[in-house]
Amino acid sequence: MRPLIVGNWKMNLGESAAKELVRRLLAALPFDRVDAAVAPSFPCLRAVLDGVAGTPLAVGAQNMHWEAKGAFTGEVSPHVLFEMGVRFVIVGHSERRALFGETDTAVSSKVVAAQRHGLSPIVCVGENEIERELGRTREVIVAQIQAAFADGALTTPDDLVVAYEPVWAIGTGRTPQPGEVTRAHVAIREALGERFGLPAEAVRILYGGSVTAENARVLLQATEVEGALVGGASLTADSFASIAAAATSC
C-alpha cells in the first residue's frame, strides 16, 4: 500500500511561515513514492491551498463541524472546507477529545459528514497512559473504532484513514515498541474488518506520536503501518521529508 504522511501543524505557523514551509516541502518530498498532506490552522488554509495548487501535496483541516451550515458560532463547515479545496480532515484527535470535549458521538457524526462532503477523515484513536498500564490498549482502541464508525449511514470505508496515536506518546518524545504498534494496528484492522468486511483492507492505518526523522524507520516498518501522522516534526521541511523518505523505504 502506498504510504501516507500527514503533517498536523496544530496551532503553529502564521501565513508567511506556512507559505515558506510549503515551498520547501514541495522541493523536498518524494511524491513519486508517497502521498502527503499538511493540516494547517484554519486562517492559513487559503495561503497553503494556493501554494500547493497543481502539486500532489494535499491539504487537510484539523477539525470541522458535522453540519454543513447553520447557527454554530465559531465552527467550520465540511462543505466550505471541500469547496476551498481541502481533502482531508483530522477527526477525534486526542487534544480535541481531552481539551475540547469531543465525544465518540461527535467523532461518529463528523466521520459521516466528512464522507458525505468529499473529505477523507483521519480518525485518531489511542489509549492514555493509565489505560496502557492497565493493559487495556486493545479494548480502548477497538471501542473507539466501533464508536467512530457506528453510524449506519456510513456504508463503505472508502477514503477512510485511521491514525493510531497513543495519547502518552503525543508530543512527549516517548514512543511504543514496534511490536506494540503492530499489535494496535492489527486490532484496528480486525475491528475495521468486522465493521466493513473485505473493503476494510483498503483503509490506511497511520502511526502517530513523537515520530521524528530519527525513529521513523523503526516505527514505520512495523507490520500494518501505512504511514504517519506527524505533529512537531512536521514543522520543518527537512524532518518531515526525512520521515516521508523513511516511509517509502519500509
Binding site for ligand PEP (CB under 6 A): 8, 165, 170-171, 208-211, 229-233
Q: Is 79 a catalytic residue?
A: no
Least distance from ligand PEP to the Cβ atom of residue 74, Å: 21
Phi, psi of 119 (to 5 degrees): -105, 145
Nearest-Å Rg of the Cα atoms of the chain is 17
C-alpha cell at 114: 466528512
Taking the complex as a whole, how short is the minimal distance between the CB of residue 248 and ligand PEP, in angstroms? 19
Alpha carbon distance 70, 63 (integer Å):
17
Q: What 3-state DSSP class applies to 101?
A: coil
Q: Kindly tell me which of 7 and 78 has the beta carbon lying closer to ligand PEP.
A: 7
Catalytic residue among 102, 131, 165, 226: 165
- Whose Cβ is closer to ligand PEP: residue 113's or residue 228's? 228
Give the C-alpha distances (Å, rounded to integers) separating 28 from 23, 104, 117, 120, 189: 9, 37, 31, 24, 31
Question: Helical H runs in 3-93?
Answer: 15-28, 45-52, 78-84
Cα(37)–Cα(35) distance, integer angstroms: 7
CB of 246 vs ligand PEP, minimal distance in Å? 14
93 belongs to the catalytic site: yes
Indicate the residue whose CB is closest to ligand PEP: 231
| Minimal distance, residue 194 CB to ligand PEP, in Å | 26
How many whole angstroms separate alpha carbon 92 and alpha carbon 69? 20
Say how many Å lie between the first and final Cα of the chain, rounded.
Answer: 11
Cite the active site residues.
Answer: 93, 165
